[in-house]
Structure 1
């Protein structure tokens, strides 16, 4: 009966990483002098603010208490996210590229210009009262060549000035101001930009005045359904005359944000990007707006998003939730802009009821590409999806958190990062801590420091080359240039987390074969990139097997059925179609009703990576769902075995 049911179903159907230098002759591993990195996870800044990967860079996550942030990209390409609350703090603490392990080495010092070649420049600033501002930041760029000057710094002088000595030439400047009321409460953000001015050889000194009162254009929106702002950001990618790019911008939550219109620059170019995010005024209405626009003609005078329903895409998000972690989570969105690859904020308030549904209206005039992520209630799990490309008037559906949640690798169809790739003598092996039923989803701890634990062990042959706790991956250097087998074993224990009653423990055991020569079928497409900075192109996708489960359960991953069914996808990690195509040769499923002491095999039906299985659910008030153990292998000998404890709940049971 169960085998027949399986056939019918088939027919219808953010943890740190480490760089490791490998010495195969010595038979042990040694940590190289490299900072630990989250490998795609959430990071916490010195101020307590959290940032996460987004759109090729990093974006700040909403705090629930409001806030404003400066975004800056230096000459080396490193990104800084500086919170407003970081006044008087060394900006290097907020180099998120360096904190993630993706930062660039400090640039080699250039020969100092002779004093005769440098000219005094004074940038004077005034606040809304015409007085020196408090806590404002100045960005300054030589638009002839960014290598001649690019800087940002906080204004600390009592007279509101910043003094520079710079080469003569063309420049652009921008200042971010933060308004305060009489009680010291933060009330607004304002960004004033001057696209073109000159420091001349003919003048003994130059003075530039930037007045906050120029920023009078409010970033706002008029939406078809009533909504209120819960996030806003504005920034630009500015190129010099040689095409070198620098980035600058600001992000805010519920406070108003103002800019000053500017024409297109006379020297270099400006690509301006703005995003407005709003939530329904009725908490029970279940919808939100995420809108973006861009401009190559400077900063437009009109900064109001006036959108029509027919020009928007509609995405219906379905959220599943652990019974122990129900409530309000957050759906967050970042507009993906290839010209401005350093987004500011994953805007979005905790308005997504979990379990439940939420309708998200996305703008399409910005190119229609969005990266979205979900934070479960209490920030327990952060889950990312591939970039979503949408069209006006179209409707889409996205499912989040349908379990069991277990470490697995994605099958990505939109540009993203490869977490298990290799090139030359460098091999990166990262395994996302959580994945749900969607092939492109991968997740991590929503808060970097949690009571959950993980143990990661990587072997080359029989030799341990990495043995780490509370990491999800490592990068090996000096990898031997002969074919070899690797084995990755990861244990994740969520039992100490009060908001985990399902998928409480997972054990994943992967074996994969690595050949240094890159097979064309496994070459990472140019639109994708490797996570680790040590991995250069061309890069190859490692032939690692991956599992994706689709249990017949409700929105709390709970089942009341007498017969439990499972759809199982078995394949390899892939990016834009690149990855191993080795046929799946063997798939088995076993259940344990005594917490892994004994196992009983369950028939599996299917072929070519798509399988189904069915088994009777335990009955009775004290019954618990059985543990799952799936094992699979392909024709090339790559293998996976994964065990999930309490993968779902039984209705009516404890």
Structure 2
């Protein structure tokens, strides 16, 4: 898996989800999965088994938009930790750029001896060994995606049956993922100049920067770099062709306009990141090199997924810190959610850094703790990470360019090097200090913000001056109490203070405790054994802190004596009271817990939405769960393993239990009813999927198999969806033999599984006729439809229908739905190049009705809606810039290869910018301001709407509740032909309207201009009664560009420019 450069994320909005990843990936099993999303980001998948694996069942799991798809024969190995879940995390795989046609893996062995002899066996399976990773007994390999099925068979010879282990002594196979680099006068904000004035500039310290390399010609880095090495195989070696590494390096030790925090420190540059991301194996190798080369501090402004700190990268941090005493300073990540701190920042030994704005508010994008699993404090400290101006590598464009030498960027990537620079200053002043001492000094001296919790900020914002002056520190910079169980004896720990000064200090101790949301903890949740403690000169003293927490609470202990201020962040977590539960499964043959294969049993707490899972392979599932009501459900396999093809049918069985009264659960597949459709009197079984969504949680599970059954049950809080697609069904006039027409059937129930056997006729089917334009090149495409259950985020097990069409062309499809199912659709161009061209919002398709749709037949431009909002001090912007004018249609230019920028100004001054069109999030000041928001995109290779730009002006001030921004959009809706053309030499009336989040009746001004030379010159045209009158020139093959301006009575305004809006034929 690769780790990601941490730049700040975009807003989560309907129309353009924050995670817009769509496309097709090849799994380690050789199977292929295609992911599509609706306008709210709800995903759906299609699953294409590898050759020889037809009918392979799979399990789909969706949690908060993150999708995993696990084939049947990999499931057990995933559940037991032998296979990395990220290998089947479709969302991660799609946003993990990898070498063309290659799947990068880390293969870990149980012993060093097994790893040493593994290369021949790996090569025999088609893998190429790229790097040895001795610190974790592993090898980094690449497997050709075309040969993934053969590799899978070599490491799992029992496939397609399930296995308990892999062959050849392999202990684990992980995705060699791509961590991403995590992306004012910030030095003054962290009080570095005071340290400089005392002669503390980092002189004598060596710092390693593991990133995208550096620009050796940048004047701010002249004379700073004393060693370099590339771990990526980049053609430019350590020369930075991304820009992230140069930016980070100059924050640490740069000179010039944005002087680094430690301007006299020396740098080792390790390139571990490519333009596509940072392979985990490269990161580990870079860390090994940097520590061995003598770096006192190593900066890692990057991160992968949130972990509990047991992943390979985090373990490498712990191992290398213990061996060399090196301090690893690592960005927390830019997910902006609780429990989202990423690896390798999840490591115990790491000094993990969150981000604050220029007024010391916790940045909305900054990943928060507690750490996954044990609820420990992460991050431990924060630093400036918003609108940071630092060095720009020549020819690069990350962040927002200020000039040729500098860029402005946001992210915890920018926060971490501030702390690294401070650590360098301390290391230079105290050459004998190891990592733990440096970490204690920095964390203890931090300045906390009153409205941020310890799980968001750790001990607070970096204070370089205090860290370099203060002689008193807490030996353990953070403390974890728990997890323990409610009702057990309280958990206690010791805060030990050490005084390196010449005089004793008398520390006054204050304690503030809150929950994750910042609400005050109940009285007595944390207690101190003393409120004052005396620490002798050159000595130590300690105090005991006790936690009686009933959930995730955090405490900040502040010790003061005059100018001395020492912070300690403490976590306290108590597991809730639990009750025993035993779950057994009985298959359709009457065998109870007799199978050694299958999918897990899921247990969802219907009050909290938390889902637990376990296995019933050959034995009951026994364990303890927090008391409460649960939906217990499983897809139970039924088929003898000696039958071929060896793929079981599945029965979905579910029940509701209360652990206060029920401790033993039996899910019995024998009560299952077949999932069927009777169409025109003919009963048919089809390739089916079934899904369960947990109301209000963003979590859903789905499975698909050629034969399916369901046990009807009432389980409030679980929304059941059954989906089927029918083709060549006998005696159907619509879906008959040889017909390319497809009937889509979906049934939902908001209270658990129901019998899924609709009896329908042709008269019950809705007829949807769709006309499709093209991007202007012709070719072929896919129309994808998927069912959306009511009141749930549950996706179907697969996109219910994917039908190939000619572009331009027409397709007629048929739909039947029950239980409140609605439908969403997407159009993909498949040739000459795969592109997600346009999406359709969720809508109701009435049974028995008719509907006509136009796709891609109008001018492509911006569409606005309720997705652009202000909430508190955050402006979240989302305007798909290349949407056609049909109601409910939307498209991001990034889907079709567009690049661009979004820039925000306040009262004429630049706030910040992002090199992404369509969407962004900006943290702004609370008082009223006049804002100017610009978003522009260019789409290389496009035939029409090759460049689109929009500029909005509006006023905004702090609002507590989320409030829609008053944005306008001018839409042009001429009926273009299938190639996006109108006749040359004619006068045409272009339909034009103003859409927006304000009443269009209050628009007071609308003007339209046209250009026939790609925007070099413009001429105004008449606009009246909703039409703009345009006289086309005679020349065929030219293009018409459009520019429009509109303003409402409140002064909200927009100017749009669409270059090559349509072609003349």
Fold shared, TM-score > 0.5 on shorter chain: yes
More off after superposition, 191-200 vs 347-356: 191-200
Distance of 2:651 and 2:631 partners within structure 1: 13
- Once the two structures are superposed, residues 520-562 of structure 1 have per-residue CA deviations (whole angstroms, 9 ceiling, x without a partner) of xxxxxxxxxxxxxxxx74x322222212222343122233443
Tell me what 1:583 maps to.
1003
Post-superposition offset of 1:31:
4.5
Report the CA distance shift for 1:287/1:172 in structure 2 as closer, same or farther (over 3 A).
Answer: same
Post-superposition offset of 1:83:
0.3
Post-superposition offset of 1:249:
3.5
- Specify every segment of 5 or more residues in structure 1 that has no aligned partner in the other structure, as ranges: 1-17, 20-29, 412-417, 519-535
In 2, are the aligned partners of 1:71 and 1:80 still within 8 Å (CA)?
Answer: no
- Once the two structures are superposed, residues 232-284 of structure 1 have per-residue CA deviations (whole angstroms, 9 ceiling, x without a partner) of 43234567xxxx879543143xx42423323325xx56543323233566798
SS in 1 for 2:720: strand
Post-superposition offset of 1:195:
0.6
Post-superposition offset of 1:491:
2.0
Report the CA distance shift for 1:326/1:421 in structure 2 as closer, same or farther (over 3 A).
Answer: same
Distance of 1:126 and 1:510 partners within structure 2: 62
Instruction: Output aligned runs, 1:486-635, within 5 Å.
Output: 486-495=932-941, 500-503=942-945, 505-516=946-957, 537=961, 539-563=962-986, 565-574=988-997, 581-593=1001-1013, 595-596=1014-1015, 598-607=1016-1025, 610-619=1026-1035, 623-635=1037-1049
In 2, are the aligned partners of 1:133 and 1:177 still within 8 Å (CA)?
Answer: no
Tell me what 1:261 maps to.
711
Matched, 1:421 2:869: yes
In 2, are the aligned partners of 1:380 and 1:445 still within 8 Å (CA)?
Answer: no
Post-superposition offset of 1:137:
2.0
- Once the two structures are superposed, residues 544-584 of structure 1 have per-residue CA deviations (whole angstroms, 9 ceiling, x without a partner) of 2212222343122233443163524231323xxx5565314
Distance of 1:423 and 1:517 partners within structure 2: 8
Matched, 1:381 2:836: yes
Distance of 2:899 and 2:56 partners within structure 1: 31
- Specify every segment of 5 or more residues in structure 2 that has no aligned partner in the other structure, as ranges: 50-54, 93-304, 307-333, 341-368, 376-482, 489-575, 729-734
Tell me what 2:674 maps to.
218
Tell me what 1:62 maps to.
46
Tell me what 2:96 maps to.
none
| Paired positions, count | 563
Post-superposition offset of 1:56:
5.3
In 2, are the aligned partners of 1:456 and 1:490 still within 8 Å (CA)?
Answer: yes
In 2, are the aligned partners of 1:237 and 1:272 still within 8 Å (CA)?
Answer: yes
Matched, 1:42 2:21: yes
Report the CA distance shift for 1:470/1:79 in structure 2 as closer, same or farther (over 3 A).
Answer: closer
Distance of 1:81 and 1:514 partners within structure 2: 38
Tell me what 1:430 maps to.
878
Higher helix proportion, which one? 2
Matched, 1:292 2:738: no
1:366 to 811, 819, 830: 819
In 2, are the aligned partners of 1:419 and 1:429 still within 8 Å (CA)?
Answer: yes
SS in 2 for 1:435: coil
In 1, are the aligned partners of 2:900 and 2:938 still within 8 Å (CA)?
Answer: yes
Matched, 1:137 2:600: yes
In 2, are the aligned partners of 1:319 and 1:400 still within 8 Å (CA)?
Answer: yes
Post-superposition offset of 1:172:
3.7
Distance of 2:41 and 2:621 partners within structure 1: 29
Instruction: Output aligned runs, 1:123-134, within 5 Å.
Output: 123-125=583-585, 131-134=594-597
Post-superposition offset of 1:451:
4.4
Higher strand proportion, which one? 1
Post-superposition offset of 1:614:
2.3
Distance of 1:246 and 1:606 partners within structure 2: 47
1:83 to 69, 72, 77: 69
Q: Give the CA RMSD over aligned residues.
A: 4.5
Report the CA distance shift for 1:380/1:296 in structure 2 as closer, same or farther (over 3 A).
Answer: closer
Distance of 1:553 and 1:471 partners within structure 2: 26
SS in 2 for 1:377: strand
Post-superposition offset of 1:57:
5.9
Tell me what 2:633 maps to.
174
Distance of 1:95 and 1:102 partners within structure 2: 21
Distance of 2:740 and 2:1064 partners within structure 1: 28
Which one scores higher on RCO, CA 8 angstroms, separation ≥ 6?
1
Distance of 2:760 and 2:774 partners within structure 1: 33
Distance of 1:355 and 1:228 partners within structure 2: 33
Matched, 1:234 2:652: no
In 2, are the aligned partners of 1:139 and 1:173 still within 8 Å (CA)?
Answer: yes
Report the CA distance shift for 1:626/1:167 in structure 2 as closer, same or farther (over 3 A).
Answer: closer
In 1, are the aligned partners of 2:883 and 2:891 still within 8 Å (CA)?
Answer: yes
SS in 1 for 2:1005: strand
Instruction: Output aligned runs, 1:180-195, within 5 Å.
Output: 187=647, 190-195=650-655
In 1, are the aligned partners of 2:22 and 2:34 still within 8 Å (CA)?
Answer: yes
Distance of 1:46 and 1:467 partners within structure 2: 35
Instruction: Output aligned runs, 1:264-275, within 5 Å.
Output: 264-265=714-715, 270-275=718-723
Matched, 1:151 2:612: yes
- Once the two structures are superposed, residues 365-406 of structure 1 have per-residue CA deviations (whole angstroms, 9 ceiling, x without a partner) of 433633333223354124223332343433222111113323
